[in-house]
Amino acid sequence: MKSKKLSEKILRSIRSRGFKYIILDPVLETKYILQRSGENFRKFLFSFYDLNGKELCLRPDLTISSVIRFIQNNKNNREKVFYSGEAFRKNYKKKGSIIKNQIGYEILASKNNQKDDKEIIDTALKILKNSGFKKAILKIGNIELFNLLIDKLDIPRRWKNRLKRNYWNENYFNELLKRLETNLDIDPVFVEIDKSKYKKMKKENYNKVIAGRTYREVLDRFNMKINDPRKSSTGKKSTNIIKQFLKIKCPLAKAPKTLNSFFKKNQINIIVSKDFFPLSKNNKNLKIEFSSSNGREVELYSSMIFSIEVKIKSKFMNFISGGRYDQLTNNLGFKKIPAVGAAVNMNLYE
């Protein structure tokens, strides 16, 4: 009963800021989930086939359901929506499934990044104010800064793309940094073997296929490695810069100065303006901090990202999280729709 009343209070808080309530379909086409999360995610889905052989699944995430609804309804104008319900995923660590109770709100076809990002965070702060939690921390980051940094470093283009793509997989990302720093994975013997194969393949028919690739594709990859090789000297320096960047954490009001000092020290041509973040001043009752590595556990966001953690007993736990996900519709196979939103973790009340 307490959870229901709190849920109603949160929904009223969101509605009061002009968001329109929508009902989401509990079933999705499986292909949309796999296009975004990959084939390996299939094992977490509750999937089945309809009479026409189309594979469907219970929604594992409400944000994807909302975005698909917007696109399939041929929406183009800016729309502020919110919703509530359950998301379903299999859980292999415990018996049964994870049923995640979630309230979400979004601005779709967002026209003004700064304004809409701030509106999403301001709404989160209003929810927090009405939630009953006394102590909280608001953490804000921006994935765009990481991508800009990687583009400025002296490392091969294919490695830049690899680091960006695997930013969310922290274990593999750290493995990539180790390889970039030391070059220990490069065996001179295999390098010579590859060079020999490269010379032979250049004399063959470029349309010939090997291991699912044409000789032309394989040779293009060889050429890319030859023309843009990994260098141990610059690799070590770049790895150190990346590690130091991901450790930056400070009050949000000091973030532009801290970041600019870091970029200047490392001779990187990036300048962060004072109005880069949607909020700047700390609330006297709320700690607001910038964290360069905030939100790495969620592969969804493209720039601004935030989370609100509340203190329950002696631990801080995630209560609200969100950010900007302009690339999501592209990943689902549709045209790009700028979007920003957040979700409230209602499981905290259970």
Residue 154 lies in a domain: no
**pTM, to two decimals:** 0.81
Residue 157 lies in a domain: no
Q: Which of 290, 246, 285, 297 is nearest to 272 (CA)?
A: 290
37 & 140 share domain: yes
Say how far apart CA 196 and CA 190 lie, in whole Å: 10
Residue 199 lies in a domain: yes
334 & 201 share domain: no
CA distances from 127 to 6, 10, 29 (A): 10, 6, 32
Overall number of domains in the chain: 2
Q: How many Cα atoms are found within 13 Å in the side-chain-facing hemisphere of 164?
A: 21
221 & 261 share domain: no
Residue 172 lies in a domain: no
- Exposure b/e, 183-197, CB count within 10 A at least 16 = b: eeeeeeeeeeeeeee
Q: Which domain holds residue 129?
A: 2-149+243-349
333 & 197 share domain: no
Work out the burial of residue 212: count CB atoms within 10 Å of its CB; fewer than 13 is exposed, 13-18 middle, 19 or more buried: exposed
* Per-residue confidence in pLDDT tens, the chain, 350 aa: 456 778 888 999 999 999 999 999 999 999 988 877 777 788 889 999 999 999 999 998 899 899 989 988 887 889 999 999 988 888 766 655 576 788 999 999 988 888 999 999 999 999 998 888 888 999 999 999 999 999 999 888 888 999 998 998 889 999 999 888 886 655 454 555 566 676 676 677 777 777 677 877 766 666 666 555 656 667 889 999 999 999 999 999 899 999 999 999 999 999 999 889 887 565 666 889 999 988 777 778 889 999 999 988 888 899 999 999 998 888 887 888 899 999 998 877 66
For residue range 56-92, what is the model confidence (pLDDT) as tens digits?
A: 999 988 998 999 899 888 878 899 999 999 888 887 6
Q: Which residue has the tokens 């935030």?
A: 306
259 & 328 share domain: yes
109 & 219 share domain: no
For residue range 297-345, what is the model confidence (pLDDT) as tens digits?
A: 777 888 999 999 998 888 889 999 999 999 888 888 788 889 999 999 8
